Every structure is written in C-alpha cells, then in structure tokens.
Structure 1
Amino acid sequence: MTWASYDFAASTYFGVIPVLIFPIFFATVVAPGPSGDLYWGLSVAGAYVVSGLAAPLLGVLADRTRSRLPLMAAATLACCLATAATAAVAPGQVAAAVVICAVAQTGYFLAMSLYESYLPGITTPADSGRVSCFAWSIGFVGGGVALLAVLFIVRTGPSPGAMTSSGFQTSFIVVALMFALFALPALVGLRRIAVPRSASEPILPVLDLMRSWRMHRQVFTLILAACLINSGIVTVLVFSTKFFASNFGASIDRLLVLLLVFHLIAVPATWGFGELADRWSHTRAIIASLVIWAAGILLMILGRGEWVPVIVVVLLATVVGSTQALLRSLLARMVPIGRAAEFFGFSTLSGRASAALGPLTYGAISAATGSERIALVSVFVFMAAGAVVITRLRFEDAAAPHHA
C-alpha cells in the first residue's frame, strides 16, 4: 500500500496536467491554431527524449549507491516546481511554454521510472499483475481528486464553464501543491522498503546492458513491444482532450466531467485486468486490451455526434491503465531484482525515445493536413506493430521466476 500511494500522488499531476490542462493551454493561450499541436508535440517529445536518456544513468546510480529514494524525491520536486512555474507563462511565449512543460514532464517521467523499479522487489510472479494494476487504479483515484479541484476552479471562476487565464494559473499551482503534499508521506513510507544493491559496475550501463541482449532476449522483446504500444497510448493521452474540443465542440467543463467518468471507470477496470492477467495470462490480457484500443481509436476517427466522446471515454478508460500496468508488471517478472532500476531505466530510455515519435508524427500530420482525424490514423501503426511483437513473446506467465 505504501508503494502504491505514490501512484495516487503522481496521478494528481498526470491525470490533469498533461492530458487536459497543458494541451488546452497550448491551443488557447500559447499558440492558437494548428501550430499548437506541433508545439505541444515538440514539448512532449523533448520530455520523452531527455528523460529517456537520463533514466538509465539514474537507474544505475540508484542500484549502485542505493540512492533510489533521494533521486525519486528530487525528480518529484522538479516536476512540482516546473508545473507551478507554468503559471507565469504569458500568451504567445511559445519557447518558455515548450521548455517549462518539458521540464515538468521530464521530472514526472524520471520519478515514475525510479518508482516502478521498486516493483520487482515487492511482488512475486503470482501477484505482480494484481499489485501493479492495484497501484494504477489507486492512481486513477488521485487523478479524480485533482480533476474535482480543477472542476471547482472552472465553475467558480469569472466565466463559469470556461478556462480563463487566471483559471490556468490557479490550476497549475493547485495541482503542483497537491502532487507535492501527497507525495511526501509516500516518499517517507518508501524508506521502509529494502533496496538490494547490485554488485556489477558497468562503465557504460546502457551499452553494457545492450551487449547482454542474448541473455535477456525475452526482456528485450517485451521492451520493444512496450515501446511501440506506448507510442500510440501517449499520442492518444496527450491529444484526445484537444481532439474532443476541436472535433466535437466539447467545452473545458464537459471535458472535465468526461475525465471524471474516465477515472471512475478506470479504477475497477484496471483492477479487474490485473486479476484477469494473474489468473489467465499477461500477454493474452494485453492483446485483449489492444483490441479495445483499436475500437476506441476507430470510433474517434469515424464517429460523429455528441455521443461519440462518451463511448470513446468508456472504451479507453477500460484499457489505458490496464495496458500500461500489465506491461509494467510483466517486465517486473522478467528483470533481475538486483538490477531492477537499471532495467527499468533502460526501458524508460527506449520507451521514451520511441514514444516521442507518436506525438511528433501526430503533430506534424495535423499541422500539414489540418485534420486531426487523419493524424490519429498514425496511432494504428504503432499499436498494430506492438501487437505483432508481443505475440512473439515466449514467456510462461504461470512460471515466471526472476532471472539472475
């Protein structure tokens, strides 16, 4: 429960800021028009690349020196400070917005990489799916709490139902404070979790790990599949609210309500997929979730009418947390415990670098064609490729010891 409580804290940021406030902020304040998608995509991609490059180094440092918790606390603080600083960005300050938002996202990504590396040491092969999905479902609760706070800000502002400049500023500061306050007890509690120290001392950790790919062939196969799948997931997460606003006329007030519905459904759905994976099969459960993803994305591209966002939200709520949590727990089953932070750091490097392609591709296509529906088709390429790779994974869920 102590470990999972950080998911609650981190989701007060991730459940609101990058999936709703940042993209709408770019579209209405920083760079109105089609260029907003491109600038927001650049900010997201920059965060993914920087955090991807830094994560393996932090992972090795954490494993060698047992400094996982201080590094995680520092990354958390960086995210909170940058989020609060976004309140000072004025209309038209594109460069400042891109950099500050990227710093906030980078801090979040690095903190989550270190947080997730605790998972192999606190679970067994029999319960890793259940524990990972439980933490993710708790995270949706944290996101719901933050959404309620932002909804209150919107509905009590000078223009009820709409997000004003002051509303953006207040939201950035409130969410930053919530993340910091909720993360503090979680970080204190994590001190009680023992972290094994790795005996190896590679000079170039990423290269050293990549040279040993034959020893960890299945782990690398899983990481490749996760990279491709997460590229699609990231694109949907960072652009869906703006997509609903521009293609279905959804107001900020309605988007907040839709996100609340999303979180309410995601909590039991994510928990349920964790139970299903531990009882059935992680890989089969992931494939099942990808089928639901395909249905939701297709409906976004082809659907018309006010009912479409509601159905899409229900479909995506079922699988957003489930797919990512199951990929996380499957990786936790397969990595060596003593090198967990290193492997999760490498997973972050490859995942962030590849995930950057999703928002960049979407943003470039949207800016070039003026059609977000056409841009969304690109998500299918990433999802389909990930599904193909994961079917090549040869891993027995029922007998999943950690490799030495």
Structure 2
Amino acid sequence: MILRDLLRRLDWRAWVLQDVGNSAFATTILAVLYPLYYREVLGAGAEASSVLAWWGYVSALSMLLTALLAPGLGALADGAGRRKGALLAATALGVGASAAMGLLGEGHWVWGLALFALGSLGFSFNNVFYDSFLPHLAAPEERAGLSSAGYALGYLGGGTLLVANAALAGFWGEAGFRLSFLSVALWWGLFTLPFLRHVGEPPPSPREPGETWGASAYGRPWRTLLGLRHQPDLLWFLGAFWLYNDGIGTIMRMGVLYGSSLGLGQGTLLGALVATQFVGVPCTILFGRLAGRWGDRRVLLAGLGGYLALCAFIPFVVRPWHFWVLALGVGVVQGGTQALSRSLFASLVPKERSAELYGFYDLSSKFAGVLGPFLFGLLAQLTGSLRMGGPVLGLFFLGGMAMLRRVRAGGRP
C-alpha cells in the first residue's frame, strides 16, 4: 500500500527523494570513501594515531554544535513558517562542503577536517528540517510506512552512487576520490529540487502573546525543555534515543576506520559496505510492515537487540569475512531502527511545533554522538586499537532499550 501511495502522491515522492539525495553524503562521505581518503591521502605524512584521534574529536565537535543549535533554529523555523528555507540553507552548506572536498590533496588533513565538520553540520540540520515534515505529510497510521520508505529508498540511492564512486576511486585513484565528492554535491542538490517544488510549507506555529519572532528561537525551546517533565513518554523516548543512537551513529562514522585499522583492504571495506546499503532496502521496508502489525516500539526494540549482538561481535572481527558479517548485520537493522525511531517520535509531538521538537530529537542524537566518537578516539590513543569500542557501545544499547520500554505511544503497550 505504501509504495502505491508513493506513486500517487507527488508530495510523498518528493519528500522521499530528499532522503535519496542526502543519503549520498551519509554513504560516500560519512561512512566509506571520505574516511579512507582522509586516512590514506589527506593524512599522509602525519602520525596515524593523531589523524584517527582528531577525526573522532572533530566528529564529536560537529555533533555538539548541531545539538546546541538545532532546537533554537527549529523553533525559529516553526514560528516564521520557514521550514523549507531552513532546509535549503542546510542543504547548501552540505553541498558546498562536499564540493570543496574535491579540491583537497595529500597532506591537507586539517582542511579536510574543517570541511568534514561543515558538511556534517549541513547534513545534520538538513535532517532536522526534513524529518519535521513527516507529521504534516502523513496520518499517524501512515508514518511508519512513509518513514521506512524514505530510509529504504535512501539506502538504494546512497548505495547506487556509492557503487559508482567506488568504481571511480578504483579506476582513477586520488582523482576518482575527488570526483566522487563532487558527485555527492551534484546528486544531493538535484534530488532537493522536487522537495522544494512539490512539498508545501506547513503553517507557522502560533506565537504566545507578546512573543517576537526572534525571541521564539530560544525562549520556546527553554520552555519546552522545562515542560518535558509533564510529558513522560517524550522524555523517556529522548533519553532512550540519546543512548542507543550513540551506538548507531558511531558505528556508521567509525566503521571504515575500524576495518582499515585492522589492515583490511579497500576491496573488502568497500564491498562489504556497499552490500550493506542494498541489504538495507528490503530490510527497512520489512521493519515498516512489521511495525504496522506489532507497533513501532516493539519492532524497534527487536532491532536494537540485533545491534547489541553486533557490538558483542566487534572485538572478534579479525578476518575479512568477519567484517562482511558485521557489515551485513548492520544493514539488516540500521535502516529499520532509524525509520521507526523517526515515526515513533512523530506520534509523540504536536505538528505545529515539529521543527522545534525534531531539533530536540536531533539534540538527543547529537549529544549521544559526542560521546561515541570521542571514546573511539580516546581508545585509539590509549591502546593503539579501536577493538574495545564495541563492548562500550553495547552499554548504550542496553540503556536505551531499558528506557524505551517505558514509552507508551499510539495506544500500544
């Protein structure tokens, strides 16, 4: 039913295509090719442990900045009725940084980190405003399916471009890597155009008496934060998401560097992670269908249980086929857990404040993401290995699952 509706509804198709576009940044730059290029080309001549550690630190810093700014920017966009404009500005930042990465060469690792931070900010803010349209576009019973379709087709789009970019890098080496970063900018920009044309701007949220447009940027989020104690389901969800999304984001950002630190070849790393994208397409759709039958929360808990098992497996990854098992396992659960997190949160928030509250959703995500990459970077410096990162992340999944069990949404236990 959801795919038939996507063919019928132009605004749904345009919304999903934005996921196809920004997923190119997630695959080529966050997860696979740019980390390899950073370590092997941009970081050439520098101490390897320092290069790896600074990657973790800058990842943490970019997440921290997003976390601090997202709720205020979301409230500003809600109050002004400028959610689409905010999405366009974030997209322009991500697209511009991606294009500039194609200009970097050997030894430019400091510039590479700066552009990575800017691109990550653009990508994160883009997702805040993109996600905020979900409760406006779909009825409660449609949100899990639409969210899952977005993640599934995002996997397909990001994976397709990743295959093409991996071929470029394989044939042309450094020049191919540079072209791949330029292709991300072009791909993301083109797939944003249908969204800007066919997805309507939701009405602005009403202001309180005497509230000015600018004052809403941080006055509203502060009041919302204080009021969370009266919304226990929302509070429990944000706490749970804070914990378990730390693991999801850290695995995505550090996976290639972890495999590379084990001495695995580029062929193994690229092949396994490309396969992960395509495994994610049917598995994400399956998660959405199961959620329609058993509820978002139950299926989400099952997916997090899968992540917990993968964390326990990480210290034993020593051979190429071990990395393949790990990567494919991530592909099975990653898209479904992200899609159901987004749709479950949509059931907890009022539509008129969607951008502000998805800012808190992103804040919860990014504060969690500060700790994971930081711990990986610290472990790399202290032990010379990233191997113990898996068991540490497992604790975050356990805590997140315990808190998620306290959430009641949509009348489902």
State whether TM-score is above 0.5: yes
Post-superposition Cα deviations, 1:174-195, rounded to whole Å, max 9, x if no partner, equal 21111112222222222x3544
Which amino acid in structure 2 is aligned with residue 198 of structure 1? P
Structure 1 residue 67 displacement after superposition: 0.6
Distance 2:263 2:115 in 1: 29
Task: Indicate the residue corresponding to 2:206 in structure 1.
Answer: 198
Task: Indicate the residue corresponding to 1:148 in structure 2.
Answer: 163
Number of aligned residues:
391
What's the TM-score, normalizing by structure 1?
A: 0.92
Query: CA 1:254/1:306 → structure 2, altered by over 3 Å: closer, same or farther?
Result: closer
Among 169, 175, 185, the alignment partner of 2:184 is: 175
Task: Indicate the residue corresponding to 2:73 in structure 1.
Answer: 58
With 225-234 and 46-55 compared, the bigger mean Cα shift is at 46-55
Task: Indicate the residue corresponding to 1:338 in structure 2.
Answer: 352
Structure 1 residue 384 displacement after superposition: 1.4
Task: Indicate the residue corresponding to 1:160 in structure 2.
Answer: none
Distance 2:411 2:87 in 1: 30
Query: CA 1:336/1:112 → structure 2, altered by over 3 Å: closer, same or farther?
Result: same
What's the TM-score, normalizing by structure 2?
A: 0.90
Task: Indicate the residue corresponding to 2:17 in structure 1.
Answer: 5
Alignment gaps of 5+ in structure 1: 158-163, 400-404
Residues 1-400 of structure 1 mapped to structure 2, 5 A cutoff: 1-31=13-43, 33-157=48-172, 164-190=173-199, 192=200, 194-200=202-208, 201=211, 202=216, 204-247=219-262, 249-251=264-266, 253-398=267-412
Post-superposition Cα deviations, 1:66-125, rounded to whole Å, max 9, x if no partner, equal 111011011101101111112233433333222111000100100110000001112222
With 59-68 and 181-190 compared, the bigger mean Cα shift is at 181-190
Alignment gaps of 5+ in structure 2: 1-12
Runs of 4+ in 1 over 6 A off after TM superposition: none
- Contact in 2 for aligned 1:30/1:36 (Cα 8 Å): no
- SS in structure 2 at match of 1:126: helix
With 74-83 and 379-388 compared, the bigger mean Cα shift is at 379-388
- Contact in 2 for aligned 1:133/1:274 (Cα 8 Å): yes
Structure 1 residue 237 displacement after superposition: 0.4
- Contact in 1 for aligned 2:87/2:130 (Cα 8 Å): yes
With 5-14 and 306-315 compared, the bigger mean Cα shift is at 306-315
Structure 1 residue 388 displacement after superposition: 1.4
- Contact in 2 for aligned 1:63/1:338 (Cα 8 Å): yes
Post-superposition Cα deviations, 1:375-395, rounded to whole Å, max 9, x if no partner, equal 332211211111111122233
- SS in structure 2 at match of 1:214: helix
Quick one: percent identity of the two aligned structures? 28
